[in-house]
Structure 1
Amino acid sequence: MSRRALGHHVYIVECCDGTLYTGYTRDLEQRLKAHNQGKGAKYTRARRPVRLVYWESCESRSAALKRERQIKAQSREVKLQLIQGQGLEVAVP
C-alpha cells in the first residue's frame, strides 16, 4: 500500500473542464478511483476524468475537515498558488 493510501487527507482534483474540486478522504487512492468511476461527489460525476493535483495529510479527521473548509473558502487563484507550492496560510474565522 502506498504512503498516500490511508490516513486523513485533504485533496484537490482538477476536473476535465478545468475546475477544481476539494475534498476529504481516509483512502486517497480509493477516493480518486471512485471519482473517475462516477461514484464520487456529485460535482465530479459529470466532469470526468479528474486528476489529482494536490494533497496533504493531517493528524486527525477534525484537522483534515478544518483544513478542507479553509481551502474550499479560498478563491481559485489562491488554490492554484497552493497547488504550485506557494502555500496557503489562512485563519479560520
Structure 2
Amino acid sequence: MKITQTSLDKLSNILGESDYTVRYERGTFQSGWCLLEAKKMVVLNKFLDTEGRINTLIELIPQLKIDFDKLTHESQKLYEEVLKKTTLESK
C-alpha cells in the first residue's frame, strides 16, 4: 500500500462506513491510538506522520468489529487486503 493521504483516507473510510468516528488528538498513547468502544471512536495521535497513521490503522482495523456488508465495494476490497496482510504478518 502506498504511503499517501489517499490511502489514509481510504482506511479511514472503512471505519467511517462501520459507524466509527476517527479523531486525531494529542495524548500520551503508547501505541499511537486509543479506542473508545462504547462510542465507536478511534483516537489517533495527531503527531503521527501519514505513514504512522496508515500503519496504525492497518494494525487496528482487524481488531475492530467491522460490518462487511455496510462497506462500499472499494472498501470491502481494501478491508480484505488489510486482513490478508495482517494474517500473513502474524504467521
TM-score by length of 1: 0.29
Q: Which has the higher helix share?
A: 2
Q: Which has the higher strand share?
A: 1
TM-score by length of 2: 0.30
